[in-house]
Structure 1
Amino acid sequence: MVSFRVAAAQYPIERLESWDAYVAKLTRWVGEAADAGAKLAVFPEYGAMELASLDPATMGDLQGSIETVSALLPQVDALHADLAARTGMHILAASAPCRAADGRFHNAARLFAPNGKAATQDKLVMTRFEREQWHIAGGAGLKLFETALGKLSIVTCYDSEFPLLARAAVEAGAEVLLVPSCTDTLHGYWRVRIGAQARALEGQCYAVHSPTVGTAEWSPAVDENRGAAGVYGPPDAPRNGSWGMPEDGVLAVGVEGQAQWVLAEIDTAHVAALRADGGVLNAAHWVEQPGALPLPPVEVVDLG
């Protein structure tokens, strides 16, 4: 059982003047999370799309932006790996379009451990914008990451709105769900937030939600960004215990639209305690629903 501080980014999409400007920005953000005592930093879905501004010739073109960002990912990932090692933090990098061997692009979230290990979780269920305009393909499977902080899974944005995905991760042992998102309206933000809170309730686990914020008129991909970061748990308490989660399940939430880190304390022992002796036992009673099984397969990845 592990106790640690998590930092969820309300990350602003900005026009970058140079690669060095991006390095400075990311280094500053990661450094602020480390200085605040965080051991896990979570960046949002498609936060990497600001890198499209490094190529003025294509940044106003959707397909050109996708290709520019994908081509930069080796450099981006090397930077994240270095920052994770230097700060001793686990870092979920902002997701980005990544070209696969078959030529198709996937929405790839990459998790970096301070020991040098890293792994990728592709988004599985595409939104209409991704399907119809971006032509981003869904990934092939869900993963559980075994880390020094506990067992983590990633349900990116729209994925968090589909309970069987998170449930499969919970059945595999997930204690913390990471929910990076990118939404251009408050409708979208609330869909993801409600999904994250529902998944925390059903799985009796934590959900860490990180959105993009701000306006980027130069970008055809991430021009409008609305949301607030949050850390959620099940609104419950053990029957035989002196502590409990917040009554509304909200451990921390940011100010909508404001660039900031949102910090909260996570204790995986609380997950075990609630699953064993909560006021309700959602995790255990899931299988009593008609049609609850089978669940999608989960690949276990060792990042410890």
Structure 2
Amino acid sequence: MAITINKVELRNLQIEDYKELKKSMIEAYPEMVDSYWKEQDIEKLLSIFPEGQLVIVADDVVVGSALSLLVTEDFAFKSRTYKQITGNYTFSTHQDDGEVLYGIDVFINPKYRGLRLGRRLYDARKELCEQLNLKSIIFAGRIPNYGKYANEISPKEYLEKVKRKEIYDPVLSFQLSNDFHEVRVLKNYLEGDKASQEYAVLLEWNNIYYDDSPKLINTYKSVVRLGLIQWQMRSLGNLESLFEQAEFFIDAVSGYGSDFALFPEFFTAPLMADYNHLSEAEAIKELARYTEAVKMKFQEFAISYNINIITGSMPYIENGHVYNVGFLCKRDGTNEMYRKIHITPNEVFHWGITGGDIIQTFDTDCGKIGVVICYDVEFPELARLMADEGMNILFVPFLTDTQNGYTRVRHCAQARAIENECYVAIAGCVGNLPKVNNMDIQFAQAAVFTPSDFAFPSNGIKAEATPNTEMTLIVDVDMDLLKELHEHGSVNTMKDRRHDLYQLKKMK
């Protein structure tokens, strides 16, 4: 390290910094005579867009800077030269309502290079872009090493070789490593830039948090609160008793401000006790008679408690077939049905249940969600198709009698969270139900699983309930962390699939 630094500060540029700023500019561009900004230029920039002008100060000396304008996206892409983008160096192109941060200069004094100070400036620009809700950062980057190869390859070929790391360019290589992507090569961009042969590469960094929608109530929630209900199987005298118990839990999770309440698979099973004298296939059909009433009551609860309810699952008869279905009862009063696709051998043998044939996601006031019932989570294709449609939260109501069955559901749910870069919430029934055939014992532990990266818990478990105990689990999940993961994760599972080798698609 050529220079020892005791203190580094990144802050907004002030006019009092000009003398030191000028000195560093001259040293940064020795090959470009009179390339530095005049004091009146800096004054103009500070008057029209002070927050966009940044400096790095090392031991009270200005050693680097990043200067910016606000312009429209259309103007940024149409401008072909440095004179055009800066309004012939007058900055008349700046627009307070521009949706793009255009970088007109960034430099570090050569004496202070190699200390990653330039990266700090770039990170500060990105943070400013997010704070101002701007669409992107755009600028044209010089390619100062191109002059060495100009007689051998074209600028386009040079760009490709830099991207493949076959050639190192001190400017372009740095920008590409900071998540900027190339838009096009510009010819005759900066007059007098002999090192670049007056070529530049137009680069862009997209703000994944940009929101161009009107600021309306309930349009987007960055943090979504989930209420998972670990339901105790118990004898119930009638349907009203079930509603009373369900309302207790809905009231509880709603009282904590939950956006969703998740019930388990077949949580209505205690109502089958009255049909124990029938065969299991006939008893499940009798239980199905309650399904419409349960749906209507839960719609009422969703409205009165201002919460979206995922009703677990229950039997449903249609055209003579018994299906395992549930309902997403939204707090706006509407509802949508989901069906279990994959039916376990036990469900087929004892209850004669038929698998559904619709794979879908659901739009909610908290974003797009998916629901798969128990055994379905063991088939990765379902969740992947939902993730391709933009699903961010996967809900899994389940019913398992043994720890073996629960382990399958749990580990598959964790895998779905990792491979689809989403949250997965699971909730099941606990306890015993001795008076109902084929529903004797239950094992469950509700949990919320996350992707596995630095922004999330190291074990991929956001929260989990006490096993085999009736309780609720209240968990907050951050949607913005998923956006960050999709773009800048340690790995990009969704992006790195080899569509040239394999594809996954719905058949209907």
TM superposition score normalised by structure 1: 0.91
- The equivalent residue for 1:161 is 378
- The equivalent residue for 2:346 is 129
- The equivalent residue for 1:240 is none
- The equivalent residue for 2:280 is 62
The question of whether the paired residues in 2 share the 8 Å contact of 1:60 and 1:219 is answered with: no
One-letter identity of the residue aligned with 2:272: A
Instruction: Using the TM superposition, name which of 124-133 and 197-206 deviates more.
Output: 124-133
Instruction: Using the TM superposition, name which of 13-22 and 85-94 deviates more.
Output: 13-22
- The equivalent residue for 1:211 is 428
One-letter identity of the residue aligned with 1:296: K
TM-fit CA distance, 1:36: 2.2
**1:252 matches 2:470:** no
One-letter identity of the residue aligned with 1:70: A
What pairs up with 1:137-148 in 2 under 5 angstroms?
137-148=354-365
- The equivalent residue for 1:38 is 258
What is the DSSP-based 3-state SS (H/G/I as helix, E as strand, rest coil) of the residue aligned with 1:121? strand
Kindly report the root-mean-square deviation, in angstroms, between the aligned alpha carbons of the 2 structures: 1.6
One-letter identity of the residue aligned with 1:82: E
CA 1:214 to 1:59, structure 2 compared with 1: closer, same or farther past 3 Å? farther
Distance 1:19 1:48 in 2: 9
- List runs of 5+ in structure 1 lacking aligned partners: 238-243, 299-304
CA 1:51 to 1:12, structure 2 compared with 1: closer, same or farther past 3 Å? same
Distance 2:384 2:353 in 1: 24
**1:72 matches 2:290:** yes
Radius of gyration: which is bigger? 2
Given candidates 291, 294, 298, the residue that maps to 2:504 is 294
TM-fit CA distance, 1:289: 8.7
- The equivalent residue for 1:232 is 449
Given candidates 372, 392, 406, the residue that maps to 1:189 is 406
Given candidates 492, 502, 507, the residue that maps to 1:281 is 492
For residues 117-172 of structure 1, the C-alpha deviation after alignment (integer angstroms, 9 at most, x for no partner) is 10011000111101222110000111110010110001111110111110000001
- List runs of 5+ in structure 2 lacking aligned partners: 1-219
One-letter identity of the residue aligned with 1:281: N
The question of whether the paired residues in 1 share the 8 Å contact of 2:276 and 2:435 is answered with: no
Distance 2:406 2:240 in 1: 31
Identical-residue share of aligned pairs (%): 26
Distance 1:290 1:50 in 2: 49
Distance 2:432 2:449 in 1: 26
Distance 2:351 2:271 in 1: 16
One-letter identity of the residue aligned with 2:260: L
What is the DSSP-based 3-state SS (H/G/I as helix, E as strand, rest coil) of the residue aligned with 2:331? coil
What is the DSSP-based 3-state SS (H/G/I as helix, E as strand, rest coil) of the residue aligned with 2:361? strand
The question of whether the paired residues in 2 share the 8 Å contact of 1:58 and 1:64 is answered with: no
What is the DSSP-based 3-state SS (H/G/I as helix, E as strand, rest coil) of the residue aligned with 2:469? coil
TM superposition score normalised by structure 2: 0.55
CA 1:209 to 1:289, structure 2 compared with 1: closer, same or farther past 3 Å? farther
Distance 2:444 2:239 in 1: 26
Distance 1:287 1:130 in 2: 36
Number of residue pairs matched by the alignment: 288
Distance 1:86 1:45 in 2: 23
TM-fit CA distance, 1:295: 2.3
